[in-house]
Amino acid sequence: MNKLSSISTSNAPEALGAYSQAIKANGFIFASGQLGLDPKTGDFISDSAGGQAEQALTNLSAVLKAANSSMDNVVKVSIFLVNINDFAAVNEVYSKFFKAPFPARACVEVSALPKNAKVEIELIATN
């Protein structure tokens, strides 16, 4: 039987809607998209896509830690950018959080993100 458990930490921003920060299922952790928000204030840590990406990845790292995992166990990342021209800046920050073998990844441009964010990042990791 598939047992689901919700993951939550105060070291990442609270969910902005009816969803969990992450769900653990069958040895995998499915982390919801994170914005570049400061978990204490709820404000963006930066106006730049790179700065927002760094905070989003820091938030995701905190969620994984709460699930007894880490960025070393990430298998898939999805990045959503409001402006694809921010790809290089986000990729530079991204490379600081992961090492080989790098996770599989998708990066797409979207028309808008919650709270007018410039970037949102979600991921899947193993436990």
pLDDT at site 17: 84
Among residues 107, 108, 115, 119, which one is catalytic? 107
pLDDT at site 2: 67
Least confident of 15-29, 35-49, 64-78: 15-29
* Helix-helix angle 49-66:87-97, to 10 degrees: 30
Per the model's pLDDT, the better-predicted residue between 2 and 20 turns out to be 20
Identify the helix (H) or strand (E) that includes residue 25: strand 22-25
pTM metric for this prediction: 0.96
Report the distance separating Cα 1 and Cα 20, nearest Å: 21
pLDDT digits (tens, 9 = 90+) for 76-107: 999 999 999 999 999 999 999 999 999 999 99
Catalytic residue flag (residue 107): yes
Where do the domains of the chain lie? 4-126
**Residues forming beta bridges with residue 24, ordered by sequence position:** 5, 29
Could you tell me which CATH number the domain at 4-126 has?
Answer: 3.30.1330.40
Q: What is the DSSP letter of 6?
A: E
